[in-house]
Amino acid sequence: MADHPGVMFKEGPSGRRAALAYGPDVWEIIKFLREVDERGPAALDAAAEVLAVDASRIAAAVSYYTEYPDEIDADIAEADDASARAEEIQVAADPSSGEDPPGSSGRTASRSRLRRPGSAITSMAAIRPVAPTVSASTT
């Protein structure tokens, strides 16, 4: 895709979806960015660290999202629905499975940066990357 280098399409059970080449789907990146506590370049860095991809590739996913938000929002909604259905099935099969183990904080270390579900960001500008400044060395 000339307009969004690094973004390609993958086929799967849910149909065609935008993804980073050799990386996560765009919806996964945007969902992470909505839930992470950091904002701006720090959010891109956090996503890059957790998702194990370069921050510039995270920025490419954000760029794609700004042009096709309805497509990505639909992918996120579909994934959230599937997750909720799976959880309902698990709880129906084992009602105790929805509880945290005694003595646990209820949050895993890998999710410690994430906000509670439903705390979506209201503007993609909050995660839009800032162009780096380059200074000439005087030495």
* Structural domain boundaries in the chain: 7-95
Contact 25, 17 (CB under 8 A): yes
Least confident of 3-7, 27-31, 36-40, 96-100: 96-100
What b/e readout covers 98-132, taking b as 16+ CB neighbours within 10 angstroms? eeeeeeeeeeeeeeebbeeeeeebeeeeebbbeee
Q: Average pLDDT, whole number, for the chain?
A: 73
Whose CA is closest to 38, among 124, 129, 96, 113?
Answer: 113
Percentage of the chain beyond pLDDT 90 is: 29
Tens digit of each residue's pLDDT (9 = 90 or more) over 105-134: 554 444 444 444 443 343 444 444 444 434
Q: What is the CA radius of gyration of the chain?
A: 18
**Residue 43 phi, psi dihedral angles, 5° rounding:** -65, -40
pTM listed for this prediction: 0.60
